[in-house]
Every structure is written in structure tokens, then in C-alpha cells.
Amino acid sequence: MRLLARWLLLGEWRAHPVRALTAGAAIAVGVALGFAIHLINAAAFNEFSSAIKSLSGQADVQVSGTELTFDEAIYPVLAQLPQVAVASPVLEFAASMPGGLPPLKIIGLDVFRAGHISPDLVGAPASGDGADVLADDALFLSPAALQWLAVQPGARVAFQVGTRPLALRVAGSLQRARVGQRLGVMDIAAAQWRFDRIGKLSRVDLKLRDGIDRNAFLTALRARLQRDYPGRFRVGQPNDADQESRNSNLSRAYRVNLGVLALVALFTGAFLVFSTQALSVMRRRSQFALLRVLGMERRRLLLQVLAEGLSLGVVGAVLGIAGGYGIAAAALRFFGGDLGAGYFAGVEPEVRFTPVAALVYFALGIGVALLGCAAPAWEAARATPAAALKSGSDEVALARLAPAWPALACIGIAACMAFAPPVFELPVFGYLSIALLLIGGIALMPRIASLTFRMLHRRWQAYARTRPAAPAVPSLTLARLANASSQAGVALGGVLSSFSLMVAMGIMVASFRISVDNWILQVLPADLYARTAAGGATAGLTPREQEAIRTAPGIARAEFMRLGAVSLAPDRPSVALLARDIDPARPEKALVLVGPVAARPANNALPAAWVSEAMADLYAIRPGTTLHLPLRGAPRPFFVAGIWRDYARSTGAVQIGRDDYRRLTGDADVSDAALWLTKGTKVGDAQAALKGLPFGAALDITAPTEIRALSLKIFDRSFAVTYLLEAIAIVIGLFGVAATFSAQTLARSKEFGMLRHVGVTRGQILGILAWEGGALTALGIVTGFVLGWAISLVLVHVVNPQSFHWTMEMHYPWPLLAAVAAVLLVAAMLTALVSGRQALSGGPIRAVREDW
């Protein structure tokens, strides 16, 4: 029996190698993409977390603020606690750099205390003079920062503080910084002075005395600080669950969605395996029936067909694991760990083979293959030998695919799941809804094909009765399709799955991109935008400089914004705080509002705040409620006036009036300026006037069109992986079309021989094949578009809001969809013609005498 099983398996592979290779390749591509993205994300996230942990050194407890910085008066309170052995003050900020460079993270340390907690952050002076670590202009850079800035010890690096330049001397390096970690370290007093942060700290690292119960100390310290400084400080461990959750939440939705998209190819592979095995079982029904007559048991036959699917899965999974590791290594080397999304900037992870993940994806590959061949195997085992030995029983074998109720049940359950809430802030039911929509749509194909082609056949017959000279090829084509609808449904499985998923992803990406573009146009209404640096927290404009810009020649109106961040929950990343010139009576002029503005009660005099969609979802905030924001060491109440759309920050953002911010914090500086020009003033003249101001050399002045182009470029880079996955889905679909129609055509050589005997010419048979290929693919394209549109609704209105907490409008990339549909149609027709020529090459007599 083993010899027979091996002979049957190898014989099928030798007879139809292209079909087997296509199904195995689909499994391999799906496993490779899923495994590669898992390795990339795991390596990048682990390296990112390790880099953050390395900044904490051996601290037992960390005290940080709900604002970016806090008053250093808390430091002696913490340092004098009897349980504390060493208290190390830290000032951490993103230092702005001129010339459009991204900011550089700088950490200010007390070297005498940091040496006991975070010795890796103590710089090694290149001069050999240990006192150089205390110099007021000394900066120690990590190897990655030295390479990025192309400087060596002794050189000077330019920074920007407000609008004035600041040059610091590279006094040495941080040899024990992690690979790829860009940062600079300097004396904390020098950092406070040089960067206008006198009396400010970012956190205090505490090392406890031996024998102290850390958990008890944490509880007591939290209670004390909450009592004495309510809502101002957070107390935790450097590697506690809150920090892990905070790091994970930064990119979890992106990583999960990318992984799910990577499995699209694997899901498509399941239907290609099903199509391959179903066609194979239909072609060999008489062979299997003969084996049953000769004594093979049902169970043995069932295992034989499952073994054929298993072999496809094993080969595909092994190749996929190897390919996935290679793809991950290449991607990390050439594109970095964030794959363009920007979540893991500043780290250089290395791929590591993880046996557990490899086993999971190997099992997924095998499971998908077995799932795809389960129905054909069951049909082969259940077939009655006497009926199966008769010629022409192929359609009977697929009769069990005809009932529509299982498919309709899947679609109904999918529709219900689409309205389910997220699970752990992930659209789990949204993913299940998409999977059930695919299964239901593909299972419904035999019934759709039957109804469609029978209707077309009746219409054509009615037309042919009125036209005696009507061509025979369409009549023969429609007759065959109307009476073999189940085979047509099987043939369209791979086409439908790949094309519908491509349509869904295409619509989703186009909707997002166009929505982002429209949003940019709405949030950039001014003629010019000015700022003092491309990023960072040290650049800004003073009130005097703001007035100089406001009164510059050609400037009709100027609005300013201060950008900051506050922490509202210990297990979530900080939310962006934007203080802008907003008219409370007409906020829609400055914000893209989602929904109506909340009516303020008559007795409510709180300042107004507008939260982004992401912040409203993450923190369960609704218009009309009260929001407490930590400002200048105290929680300040705000009235939530409305929700606005923000595609720039998935962790949340809140906007308040700049007058309210200045009154509550005393901070009158701003980060950005939006400028409207007087009538008749040219953009170039206004830019020249601004550059002519005493601080004009420090201004970065851009037009909205430049910002828009840069934003869309960043968007395309972030979605480059999605475009790649979309292209792979199209390629798999094309191969699936070729393999399916080739297999069907070659299996019908006896049918073609009979047609030749009754007088049908070779050219007419090729015409029938071309018509069949075109008709089947056209039906698959139309059905695939409808199914893809339904899936895109789930992606746009369920998966995206539950993953990234923002909404968008539907947009359709008609040129792309039409181009892909045309390529699929042409590929199917050409494949049918090429396969038909091969099937007709043997001569009609030989074809008729062939023993099936």
C-alpha cells in the first residue's frame, strides 16, 4: 500500500507539475511573508524595548511626570528618603537641529550618581581628562550618532535653542550604547543651562538600599506623591508592565494589521490548493473507483488525497520558512525595522530565527493545505464506485457544493461580526468577518455561476432562434458552462479570492490616501507656514519674535501654535497637546470636526478642549464631558467641546486655545506659525521679507504644497509593504488563473476529441476555450469586485477605526482596478488558448480512445 500511495502521489506530480508548483508556491509565499513580517516586527520591537531599558540602567524605581518636564524641587525629597541609596536626576529631550535634520535625543546626567545606576550612559572623554565630562559645552555621542552626523571627537555640532544657534563640542563617545541608538549625553547642569531648561527634570532614577521591599516602597511612594502632588508624578519600575504596554501600544495595531495582510497570500493559497485538488479528484474519479473495486478502503483513499495536499503544504511551508528568514534579513538590512512606518526609528535590529514562530507558521502552511484538500478528499472517499466509473460524472461529484445555505450563513455571520466591538483594542471580529465573507462568497460561486450561465444560455437560445446564422461557438460555450456550473465555481475559487482581496486592499489604501490628502488640504489653509526647526522640543519663537513675524511686510494675518505632550495614563504613550489660536465660536475654521460641537451648559465656564478621534476612543472621552490635563504641575479641567480628525497621531491629540494655555502655564513661546499674505503679495516676496528678519536665518518657511507632497511621500513609504502585499496577491491570482484553466483544459481532451468527431473545427474549439476563459474570468471579476467592495467596507469602517482610531471616506481606484481586471481577463483567455492547443495536439481518435 505504501508503494501504491507513493506511486499515485509522484504520478500526479509528474502529470501536472505546474499545477502542483503553483499551489505549493502560494503556500510558500504566504508562509514566507507571514514569517518574515513576524521576524522583522519581533526583532525591531525587542531591540526598541531593549534600547529604552538601557537608558534606565540598574534603577529599581523611576519617578517621571505627567508632563514632559517637572520642577527639580522634587529631587531632594526623593534623594533624602531613607530607603533610597542613590537618586540620579535625568533631563531628557529632543534637541532641535538646523538644516532640516531630525532632532537628536539628548540626556542630561549627574555623572557622579549616574555611574551607580546607568554607567553605560557615562561618556568616555577622548582627551583622557576625566573632568571633561563636566564641561559646559561637552557632548558625548553614541557611535550611531557620530556616524549619522559624520563627526569625530573634537568637532562641533550645531543645535537650535529658540531661534539662536548653539554649538556643542563632541568630547567623546558612548561606546556601550546599543547598535543604531542615536543619542547624546552631557552634564545635567550644562544641559539645563544651554537649552533653557533651568530647574527642570524629566525623571529621577532611584536605586534602593539592600533589603528594601521594592513593591512596598512603590506603593508607599505612589501614595505619598499622589497626596502631596496630585496628578503630577508617575512611579514605576523601569521594566514594569506599564512600560512594556506603553511600548507595545505604539505599534501593536500596525504590527498586527501587517501580519494579517501577510496571511492574505496564505489564505489565497488555501483556495488554490482546493481548486487543484478538486480538479485532480474529478479527473481521477474513475481511477479511484477502480482502486475501490480492487479492494482499497475508503479510509485509505481519504488518507491518500489528504497526503497529496499534505505534501503540498510541507513543501510550501519549508520553502516559506526559509524564504521568510531570507526576506526578513534583507528587509532589516536595507529598509530597517520599521518598514517605513517610523515606529522603530533609531534602532538597528538583527534577525533571529525563532523555532517556536517557525513551527507555528509551518503548522499554518500545513493546516491551510489540509483545509484546502479536505472537501475533495471526502468526496473521493464517499463516491460510489459504480457511479464514479461512468464517464461524465464529474459534475455529480461537485453537486454537494451547490447548496447555498452554508455560504449565506457565513455571509450573515460575517455581517453580524462586523458590528462587534474590538477585543483588546484589536479588530478581531473584523478579521473574522473578512474571512467568513471570503469563504461565503467563494462557496456561493457554483450557485452564482449556475444562475448566471443558465440565464445567458436561455437568452442566447432565444436570440439564436430568431437568427438562423447565429455563431455556434457562443452557444456551445454557454451550454457547457450552464451544465457544468460546479466546475466553473471551483475554477473561480483562486481568481475570486485573490481579486477580491486585491480590490479590498486597493480601495482601503486609496480611501486612506485620498482622505489624508483631503485632510491635509483642510488643516493647511494658510499661504505659508514657518517654524524654527524640522522637529524637536528646543526650537521656538518668543513673543517679540511672534510680533515681528505678524508685522512683517506682506503678512496680513498670523496664527501661532505651541506643540507639547502630556501623559494621561501610565500604560499608554503620551498624547500630543496643541495650543492654537482657535475661535471657540467657530472651531471648524481651524479643525476638521467629526460630529457636532457640544452645547456648553450655561453655568460651565471651563476652557474648551477638542480631542482627536484616537484620543476619544482610547480614553473613552465624549463631547460635553470634563477632561483634566496636567499643566504646570496640576490637573486643569477643560470642557470637551468636540472631536476632530487627526491622521498624524494614532496615540491621541488634544487641542486647546493658546490664550488658555498661556494663562494656565505662563508659557508664551510657540513652535509654528501659519501666515496669510496680503492681497497681491507674492509668496517669494513674503519669504524674502521673513528671511530678512534678525532671526530669519533660523526660520524654516514652507508652502502648503510642499508640506502636502512630503506628507504623501511619508504615507506612501509607510504603506510600501501594503503595496507589495497587494502586488503579490495579484501575481498569485494570475498564477492561479493560469494553473486552473490549464488543468481544466488538459483534462478535457476526450471532450474535444468527441467535438472534433461531430464536425467542430479546431479553430471553433479554441474559440470555445477563449470564450469560456473570458466568461468565467469576467464573472469572477464582477463577483470579486462585489465581494472585495464588501470586504473594503469592513476594512475602512471597522478594522481601521478599531486599529488606528480614525475614520475615513470611501474612495475607489478605478484605473488600478480596471487594469488588474483587464490583465486577469487576458491572462485567462491566453492560458485557455495555449492549453487548448496542447490538448488538441494528440488527434481526435487518440483522445476518444483514451481510457479515463
| pLDDT tens digits for range 321-341 | 999 899 888 877 776 665 555
Give the pLDDT confidence score for residue 824 in this predicted structure. Answer: 81
- Report, as an integer, the average pLDDT of 801-829: 88
> Does the structure show a pLDDT above 80 at 51?
no
Q: Do 175 and 231 reside in the same domain of the chain?
A: yes
DSSP states of 458-470: HHHHHHHHH-TT-
Inside any domain, residue 513:
yes
Question: Which among 681-685, 716-720, 847-851 has the top mean pLDDT?
Answer: 681-685
Q: Range of 799's domain?
A: 402-522+705-852
139 plus 203 within the same structural domain: yes
Nearest C-alpha neighbor of 340 from the set 723, 811, 806: 723
Distance CA 616, CA 623 (A): 9
Domain count, the chain: 4
Helix, strand, coil tally for the chain in percent (to 5): 60, 15, 25
Whether residue 395 lies inside any domain: the answer is no
Q: Pseudo-torsion of CA 486, 492, 493, 497, nearest 10°?
A: -150
Among 348, 299, 300, 116, smallest CA distance to 209 is for 116
Residues 232 and 345 in one domain: no
What is the structure's pLDDT at 34?
A: 82
Q: Do residues 325 and 223 share a domain?
A: no
> Domain end: 214, 238, 262, which one?
238
Query: Per-residue pLDDT averaged across 172-196, rounded?
Result: 92
Residue 659: predicted pLDDT: 95
**Mean pLDDT value of segment 721-738:** 67
Is the pLDDT at 842 greater than 70? The verdict is: no
Same domain, 846 and 733: yes
pLDDT greater than 70 at residue 396: no
Question: Which range is least confidently modeled, 365-379, 703-717, 811-825?
Answer: 365-379
Is the pLDDT assigned to residue 792 strictly greater than 50?
A: yes
Neighbours of 465 (CB within 10 A): 9
Whether 177 is in a domain gets the answer yes
From 357, 387, 417, the end of a domain falls on 387
Looking at every residue in the chain, the average pLDDT score rounds to: 84
| Alpha carbon distance 484, 482 (integer Å) | 6
Residues 664 and 729 in one domain: no
Give the residue from 217, 834, 92, 209 showing the smallest Cα distance to 537.
Answer: 92
Report yes or no: 170 and 124 within 8 Å, Cβ to Cβ.
no
**For residue 101, what pLDDT band results from cuts at 50, 70 and 90?**
confident
Higher pLDDT, 732 or 818: 818
Identify the pLDDT of residue 624.
94
- Is 311 part of any domain? yes
pLDDT tens, residue by residue, 444-493: 888 888 889 889 989 888 888 887 777 878 888 888 788 766 666 666 77
Does the reported pTM lie above 0.75? yes
Residue 852 lies in a domain: yes
595 and 479 both lie in a single domain: no
Residues 455 and 352 placed together within one structural domain of the fold: no
Q: pLDDT band at 47, cuts 50/70/90? A: confident
**Residue 392 belongs to some domain of the structure:** no
Mean pLDDT score, 109-117: 92
Query: Are 691 and 746 part of one and the same domain?
Result: no
Is residue 259 located within the same domain as residue 216? Answer: no
Residue 394 inside a domain? The answer is: no
Q: Highest mean pLDDT: which of 9-18, 555-564, 598-607, 721-730?
A: 555-564
Domain boundary among 675, 702, 729: 702
Same domain, residue pair 775 and 824: yes
Burial of 56 (0-12, 13-18, 19+ CB in 10 A): buried
Per DSSP, the residues of 693-732 read STTGGG-EEE-HHHHHHHHHHHHHHHTHHHHHHHHHHHHH
Q: 709 and 698, same structural domain?
A: no
pLDDT of residue 850: 46
Asked whether residue 396 is domain-assigned, the answer is no
Q: What is the pLDDT of residue 439?
A: 86
Looking at the chain, the whole-number percentage of residues with pLDDT higher than 90 is 43
**Given this model, what pLDDT does residue 852 score?**
41
